[in-house]
Structure 1
Amino acid sequence: MNYKTYNAEDFLFDESFRQWTSGSSPQAAVFWEQWLLENPDRADIVRQAQELVRALNEHYGNEVTEERINSEIDRLMQRAAERRDTESEATVIRLPQPPLLQRKLWRWVAAASVVVSVGLAIWLYGFFMNQRHRQTTYADLTKASGVRLQEKVNNTAQIMNVVLNDGSVVTLQPKSRLSYPSQFEARSRTVYLNGEAFFDVVKNPAKPFLIYANQTVTQVLGTSFLVRAYDNEQNVVVTVRTGRVSVYKQQDFEKAQQLGSQKILGVILMPNQQMTLNLDNNRLQKQSVEQPRALQPEMVKQEQVYEDAPVAKVFENIERAYGVKLLYTKEDLSACLVNITFSNESLLERLEVICQTIGATYEVQDGQIVINSKGCQ
């Protein structure tokens, strides 16, 4: 986890940091004491974060949760916002006694004074709003990587191909940049992206391929997929062409690594599926791509003729050609026979023709295609 980029509030949300501060985990104590020895420049930030944790422990005892942490910080920001809105014409304001956590925060910036200027109150509101929505940028990630990286920047109007030392190929779009080591580490292959790139990754089950990009971590063993993740955009999109890809929020991925957990909350993508992370609401959404591409083009380019063919057989051929999953009840469709000829139709056009023929409908749900049918007579 890139703790070098953390501020005091970030540490609040780290469970092992809270365990260390409260003295409830010897394992966490070993880790954090060693980390402080290696990062003495972060001692002040750590001390401030510890004061916040102790204040929360005093206030809530053993009931400290992320929800309550958010509640306390929200209350502080609301207090500053109210002062900004209601007393913007005053030259000075007098601070009442805030809740325990707020007293700690105000003490840092007001040096135990009970009188601060309106400008400082407004600044506090802006500061904490910025911290709440603070993102780990591409520059933060590469700086904290801990290994020597080389960078490719595409400042041209054409795509740029980058060949990595394992043989994987990255097709970098204009206005995009990629950082990577000249030689990958023994246990993983990690790169950093700002922008848009198509990855064709050489398969290596013993060495997962990791792409860090704008609050997300995409993990693969060997596949081809597209990642779009610009620092100045609010959506991160991962689209899979072949193989299988796992996408995680960066915070969840790094926390699981630190705790040694194999269970990480994320999204698994199959061919012709994509994931979108909205950085405003921090939600992952899986869906099918608008225009699915055939994994076996030869199956869809040549003419396909079905005469009195069971519709389930047609669906199986479509699944194999496009790598998609069609959800339907075989028993309901067992009596459905179709006479259809396909040539250059797209996936959705083929489904439309089949559904019209058997009196069914289809819909896309969570990256899968559901066939709704009452069967055939």
Structure 2
Amino acid sequence: MINYRTYEAEDFLFDESFRQWTAEGSPQAAVFWNRWLAQNPDRADVVRQARELVRALDDHYRDDASDDRLTHELTKLMNKAVEHRDAESEAPVLPLNRRSWWRWAAAASVLLVGISTWLYLNRVPKPAPDPYEYLTKTVPIPLQEKVNTGPKAINILLSDGSVVTLNPNSRLSYPNHFDATTRTVYLSGEAFFDVMKNPAKPFLIYANKTVTKVLGTSFLVRAYRGEKDVTVMVKTGRVSVYSQKDYELAQQSGLRRVEGVVLTPNQQMTYTLEDNKLVKALVEKPAALIANRPSREQVFEDAPVAKVFSSIERTYGIKLLFDEEALAACLVNVTFNEENLLERLDVICQIIGASYEMLDGQIVITSKGCH
């Protein structure tokens, strides 16, 4: 089995199923590579580069490509051709309608592209891409984006029940539904995360060259474009923070351990972009952790459930849909403090004999009422 995670762009050129997927649109190959990309989103940029090379080669050599001519031209450019990988791949392999010169053409193209790129980079300064824009455009799965251009924080309910409080001048991109192994979102700006516990599916936040990894906790991430530092401050639970480069290198090499910083309540991490350093410290002003975050303490005594639901809506900024007439006789006695949104709903629904489900960023509550 070939470990495609170790491949660079030029390595993919010699994989027949990869070329079939890119140059020929093979449905069989597409099934394998689309599934592989979904499982390895951090390799999307390398795959994109490889596909561009394959298309360029296919277009360039499609018409005038006699073996004698190609051999003559290519031997001028290189002394040795890149050897074809003979290891067996689990990817589907179909018959190719490509001549034997294809691999020679690919090797020469890699050399030419490398030389051209070096000359261009040394002649024209290229601005560094914005990490948020780059990641959200290259990730191989569809994302939706919330942008907060207003003066107040807004709350976002994710498909797993986690709530993100997005502060002004901030952007968050996330999938409609998380995949089977991870929960990954992308942040530009500042947000408070109240993450539902799920040890089987880590929650990852990519923010300005850092990766924050949690299983279930609450914390603040500040990563505005143009600022020199990224800050992570923990309210509850444990949070691990890594530089994006170190985290992705560990993922690519299959290492289980990667150097990072583990934070606990009242601790913070500052990542200095200029020095690429993670610095751990105590939080000087714990109140800053909940800046622009609504108070989560709620006390209800013989309160109509409609009033309770309205209070939760204001606290979390999440719309609750329910039949107010059917629930008119339901009264609730309960006190909440550190419970998250879904834990509060679990308690209330147990009291009044109701159930709920999350649909399109809203919560629908179903009940036969109280008698």
Query: Higher relative contact order by CA 8 Å / sep ≥ 6: 1 or 2?
Result: 2
TM (normalized to structure 1)?
Answer: 0.48
TM (normalized to structure 2)?
Answer: 0.49
